[in-house]
Structure 1
Amino acid sequence: MLAGLDKIFLTLSTAEFIIGMSGNVFVGLVNCSEWIKNQKISFVDFILTCLALSRITQLLVSLWQSFVMTLSPPFYSTWKSAKLITLLWRITNHWTTWFTTCLSIFYLLKIAHFSHSFFLWLKWRTNRVVLAILVLSLPFLLFDFLVLESLNDFFLNVYVMDESNLTLHINDSKTLYIKTLILLSFSYTIPIVLSLTSLVLLFLSLVRHIRNLQLNVMGSRDPSTQAHKGAIKMVMSFLLLFTVHFFSIQLTNWMLLIFWNNKFTKFIMLAIYVFPSGHSLILILGNSKLRQTALKVLRHLKSTLKREKTVSSLQIDIPGSF
């Protein structure tokens, strides 16, 4: 029988999962259907589709982890199950982070305007640069695998001990655990730096663009200015949500180890859903094609509900109808 807090935790986890899946499945379906229809897909839509697929997998792994931790804690604490869940989550989180980073770089190279020869060289090879960044992210994934092996061994040594020796073992291994967490956090540094650099350069490009227009009345309404502002909003939203995501991961790693039996500790994990769930909705609102398609779907659902309501009311008004 589940306790009240466990039911609340699973309910909130499921709700965040449904919100995230709805947004990401929508993005994937829209882009894949257009791909099949036109027999081609733009590079930015390809990135968005890959990002949606990685987030769908990440949400599935996160929901699985939430249910296993709540319904069968002994199963989660076994070495094999913990290793499998951690490995799957790390893979999906890696691709989610790097695909979003590549999206930020794509916005920078396509929208920003700089006369520097190196920037122009990158701008002319935008697609190749983004693909090269994805390839260069693979060593970081391999690095994570190697670090996770030592972390999984640490968890194995902790959970096979009885409760009386658990505190002593944690104190003896605290230095190793801190080093492991720092190493795992290192792979997040490059995506954050790249996205932050993209944000700064987009802002500088916007300032220069407005200055070149001499701040006339239409200066803030021309397409280039709007594109700059839209890209800045997208990159800022990514950095904000990713910051919440990053710190919630670090806090969860510490709290679940030190206060494993505390039922409130699991609620920290709910913040991890914010990034894959919330950012997909922001992408839909920030992409004109996805936004227009979403509005069409909502209008269609609204009209369908009205028709069903009208039919139901007519059936009630007809004598002898059921």
Structure 2
Amino acid sequence: MLAGLDIIFLTLSTAEFIIGMLGNAFIGLVNCSEWVKNRKISLADFILICLAISRIAQLLVSWFESFMMGLSPLFFSTYKLAKSITLLWRITHHLATWFSTCLSIFYLLKIAQFSHSLFLWLRWRMNRVVLAILVFSLFFLLFDFLMLETFNDLFSNVDAMDESNLTLYIYESKTFYVKTLILLSFSYIIPIILSLTSLLLLFLSLVKHIRNLQLNSMGSRDSSTQAHKKAIKMVMSFLFLFTVHFFSIQLSNWMFFLFWNKKITKFIMLAVYVFPSSHSLILILGNSKLRQTALKVLWHLKSSLKREKPNSSLPIDFPESFQ
């Protein structure tokens, strides 16, 4: 019989899962349909499709993990199941993080304006740069696999011990566990640095662009300025959500290992859903094609409801600024 807190945990997990799945499925379907229709695809749309697919897989793994923790925590703690879930989660999370980083780099190379020869060389080879970054990320994925084997060996030893020796073993292995967590977190450093660098260079490019406009007695609301500001907002939202995501993962790892039977551990894991669910909505709002398609879908839904209920009030028109 599920307790009240377990029901709340599973309900919130399912709600965040549904929101994330709808957002990422929408991004993938819209861009895939454009790909089929036009028989070609831009680099930005390709990154969005790959990001949406990796996010969908990440949400599925996280949702399954949440249900196992809520319905059968003892079964979830078994070595084979925990190892499989951890491996799948690290793969999907790794891919989603690096595709988001590639999107930040794409914004930088596409929008920023620098005359440096290295920046121009990277812009001319934008497709190769993104591909090279993805190949480079595979080395960190291999590093994750090696560290996970070490971590899983520790977990299997804990699972094999009886309750009388468990406390002593955890106490003696704290130093080793801390080092393992630090090494597992190392793969996050590179994408954070790349995204922060993209944000800083976009901001410097915006300042330089506005200064040139002021020197030429021109307004500061041209298309390039707006593109800079939109890209900065997108990268900042990614970094903010990723920071929340990162710290929630670290906190849940500590809480799960030391106090795995505590209810608070499950609710800390709810913050893990924030990144793959909320970021997809931000991507939809920040992309004109996705935003307009979403508004059309909402309009058709309102029209369908109006036909089913002829006596209902008229649908509210969307402002022109959102169309």
TM-score, L = length of structure 2: 0.95
**Could you tell me how far apart the structure 1 residues matched to 2:96 and 2:216 are?**
40
Change over 3 Å in CA distance of 1:150–1:206 after alignment to 2: same
Higher mean C-alpha displacement, 157-166 vs 43-52: 157-166
Task: Please tell me whether the aligned partners of residues 219 and 225 of structure 1 are also in contact (alpha carbons under 8 angstroms).
Answer: no
Higher mean C-alpha displacement, 192-201 vs 120-129: 120-129
User: 1:234: how far off?
Assistant: 0.3
User: 1:220: how far off?
Assistant: 2.4
SS of 1:2's partner is coil
Query: Where does residue 15 of structure 1 map in the other structure?
Result: 15
**Could you tell me how far apart the structure 1 residues matched to 2:116 and 2:312 are?**
66
**Could you tell me how far apart the structure 2 residues matched to 1:220 and 1:93 are?**
39
Where does 1:144-223 land on structure 2 (aligned, <5 Å)? 144-214=144-214, 219-223=219-223
SS of 2:309's partner is helix
Where does 1:47-86 land on structure 2 (aligned, <5 Å)? 47-86=47-86
User: 1:303: how far off?
Assistant: 0.8
Where does 1:266-281 land on structure 2 (aligned, <5 Å)? 266-281=266-281
Query: Where does residue 282 of structure 1 map in the other structure?
Result: 282
Name the aligned partner's letter for residue 223 of structure 2: P
Name the aligned partner's letter for residue 99 of structure 1: F
Query: Where does residue 253 of structure 1 map in the other structure?
Result: 253
Query: Where does residue 228 of structure 1 map in the other structure?
Result: 228
Query: Where does residue 43 of structure 1 map in the other structure?
Result: 43
Number of positions where the alignment pairs a residue of Structure 1 with one of Structure 2: 313
The RMSD of aligned alpha carbons is: 1.4
User: 1:218: how far off?
Assistant: 5.5
Provide, for residues 195-241 of structure 1, a one-character-per-residue CA deviation record: whole Å limited to 9, x for no partner: 00000000000000000001778632101000000000000000000
Name the aligned partner's letter for residue 107 of structure 1: Y
Task: Please tell me whether the aligned partners of residues 61 and 85 of structure 2 are also in contact (alpha carbons under 8 angstroms).
Answer: yes
User: 1:163: how far off?
Assistant: 2.3
Task: Please tell me whether the aligned partners of residues 259 and 265 of structure 2 are also in contact (alpha carbons under 8 angstroms).
Answer: yes
**Could you tell me how far apart the structure 2 residues matched to 1:121 and 1:259 are?**
52
Query: Where does residue 137 of structure 2 map in the other structure?
Result: 137
**Could you tell me how far apart the structure 2 residues matched to 1:219 and 1:108 are?**
23
SS of 2:310's partner is helix
**Could you tell me how far apart the structure 2 residues matched to 1:215 and 1:296 are?**
42
Query: Where does residue 127 of structure 2 map in the other structure?
Result: 127
Provide, for residues 274-313 of structure 1, a one-character-per-residue CA deviation record: whole Å limited to 9, x for no partner: 0000000000000000000000000110111011011899
Change over 3 Å in CA distance of 1:80–1:298 after alignment to 2: same
User: 1:155: how far off?
Assistant: 0.9
Unaligned runs of 5+ in 2: 314-323
**Could you tell me how far apart the structure 1 residues matched to 2:141 and 2:120 are?**
30
Name the aligned partner's letter for residue 41 of structure 1: I
Task: Please tell me whether the aligned partners of residues 284 and 291 of structure 1 are also in contact (alpha carbons under 8 angstroms).
Answer: yes
Percent identical residues: 80
SS of 1:213's partner is helix
Name the aligned partner's letter for residue 101 of structure 1: T
User: 1:165: how far off?
Assistant: 2.0
User: 1:90: how far off?
Assistant: 0.1
Residues 1:118 and 2:147 are matched in the alignment:
no
User: 1:175: how far off?
Assistant: 1.0
Provide, for residues 112-151 of structure 1, a one-character-per-residue CA deviation record: whole Å limited to 9, x for no partner: 0111111111011111101100001000000000000010
Higher mean C-alpha displacement, 33-42 vs 106-115: 33-42
User: 1:69: how far off?
Assistant: 1.1
Task: Please tell me whether the aligned partners of residues 104 and 195 of structure 1 are also in contact (alpha carbons under 8 angstroms).
Answer: yes
**Could you tell me how far apart the structure 2 residues matched to 1:307 and 1:217 are?**
54
Higher mean C-alpha displacement, 159-168 vs 220-229: 159-168
Unaligned runs of 5+ in 1: 314-322
Provide, for residues 43-85 of structure 1, a one-character-per-residue CA deviation record: whole Å limited to 9, x for no partner: 1000000000000000000000000111111221111100000
**Could you tell me how far apart the structure 2 residues matched to 1:311 and 1:202 are?**
51
**Could you tell me how far apart the structure 2 residues matched to 1:203 and 1:58 are?**
31
Name the aligned partner's letter for residue 290 of structure 1: L
User: 1:33: how far off?
Assistant: 0.8
Name the aligned partner's letter for residue 208 of structure 2: R
Provide, for residues 139-194 of structure 1, a one-character-per-residue CA deviation record: whole Å limited to 9, x for no partner: 00000000000101111111222222222111111111111100001000000000
User: 1:42: how far off?
Assistant: 0.8
**Could you tell me how far apart the structure 2 residues matched to 1:194 and 1:49 are?**
21
Task: Please tell me whether the aligned partners of residues 9 and 267 of structure 2 are also in contact (alpha carbons under 8 angstroms).
Answer: yes
